[in-house]
Amino acid sequence: MPHPLIDQESAEQVEKSVRRTIQKSDVSNLVTTVVLLIIVLAAVSGIVLLSLKISRTSRIASSNAGGTGGQKPEIVRPTPTAPLPLPGGSGPGSAPPPAPGFGSGNPSGPVPENMVLVGGGEFIKGYDSKGQPVRFSLPPFYIDQHEITNREYLVFIKATGRRPPSDPRGVSFNIWKNGTFAPELEDHPVVNVSFADAEAYAAWAGKRLPNENEWEKAARGVQGYIYPWGNNFNPELANCAENPRYGTGTAPVGSFNSGRSPYGVLDMAGNVKEWTTTSVSSRNSRWKVVKGGSFRDRAGQLETISSQRGILAAPDLGFRCVKDAQ
């Protein structure tokens, strides 16, 4: 019988040694795998964070560039030349004098009664996004110095038989009752007149309603003032919501002589809004631009460039007329 190459005891020792070697190898492999996994995860995280940073930087640069490679321009609204008093006026509330070119293209004939002449030529209608003045040219025209009053409108009603103004809120709010109004309201501007009513009056008087550009030039002068009296808002120069003594209803026309425009036109800020013939949209000519703000409005709505929309008669909406200068 052959002798074994190794005895039982030695065999067991060899087996144990082999197992220990295998275990050490497994642990070493596991550690290596974990270390490699950590390295890979760290690298991936770094790449993701770097990508996010680059993306955020690109968005910021793009927004600042405005798509042109430079800084995005801001809309600038410059203040026109500071106003000066009209002859005969004084103090900060006085309107500025007519600028050069005021009389450009003026007719030599007499000015119609209760109207003022707005000379032909350019005026500053507003400012573009770069702060540059937008100029617009008009022929000369006459404009009513004040808004049409209840007294004047009553003459029209008696001559034409047109129905008196009616408040859209209901009969109980009507200023006109039994075809007339309270005596103390005769010099207040007529309100609750529709666009058709205003057009009919103007035609009867041999005049017409102004368009938006004509109204603005008469209100702001050729220099483009922010308010009829100048560039700074003063609530005491208009019947508006911010005037502590007014703002609850209409006032007699011409109550704010110091708030007149450079052409001497009265009440072009506050008291009542005024119809123009300019349509708000070419898609719907029924909506008209109304200008000037009313006793209900604040500084922003009283700016000469501000516009609101009108379609129906309203208790804070009236009108004035213009006439072509021949």
DSSP characters for 79-95? --SPP-PPTT--STTSP
**Domain match, 150 and 251 both:** yes
What CA–CA distance (Å, rounded) separates 274 from 318? 5
Which segments within the chain are labelled E, that is strand?
115-118, 121-127, 133-138, 141-144, 273-281, 284-291, 307-310, 317-318, 322-324
Q: Which of 39, 72, 105 is the last residue of a domain?
A: 72
Residue 192 lies in a domain: yes
Domain membership of residue 110 (yes or no) is: no
Report d(CA 252, CA 275) in Å as an integer.
19
What CATH number has the domain bearing residue 206? 3.90.1580.10
Residue 100 lies in a domain: no
Buried b (16+ CB within 10 A) or exposed e, 279-298: ebeeeeeeebbbbbbbbbbe
Amino acid 46: pLDDT = 56
131 with 202, same domain? Answer: yes
Give the residue from 72, 91, 123 where a domain finishes.
Answer: 72
pLDDT score recorded for residue 236: 97
Tell me: do 199 and 297 sit in the same domain.
Answer: yes
Query: Is 275 found in the same domain as 145?
Result: yes
| 202 domain residue, yes or no | yes
Pair 167, 59 in one domain: no
Same domain (yes/no): 45, 169: no
Where does a domain end: 72, 100, 126? 72
Structure tokens at 48: 């993701």
Q: Do 68 and 123 share a structural domain?
A: no
Q: Give the structural domain span for 35.
A: 1-72
Same domain? For 62 and 123 the reply is no
Q: Is the pTM of this model over 0.85?
A: no
Could you report the average pLDDT of every consecutive run of 10 residues in the chain (326 residues)? Answer: 49 54 54 62 55 42 36 37 35 40 62 96 88 92 98 98 96 95 98 98 98 97 94 97 93 97 98 97 90 97 95 97 93
Q: Does residue 81 contact residue 124 with C-beta atoms inside 8 Å?
A: no
Q: Same domain for 68 and 173?
A: no
User: Residue 78: inside a domain, yes or no?
Assistant: no
66 with 120, same domain? no
Q: Are residues 129 and 27 in the same domain?
A: no
Total domains present in the chain: 2
The verdict on residue 1 lying in a domain is yes
Residue 103: inside a domain: no
The 10 Å Cβ neighbour count of residue 262 is 26
Note whether 314 and 188 are same-domain residues: yes
With respect to residue 157, please indicate whether it lies within any of the assigned structural domains: yes
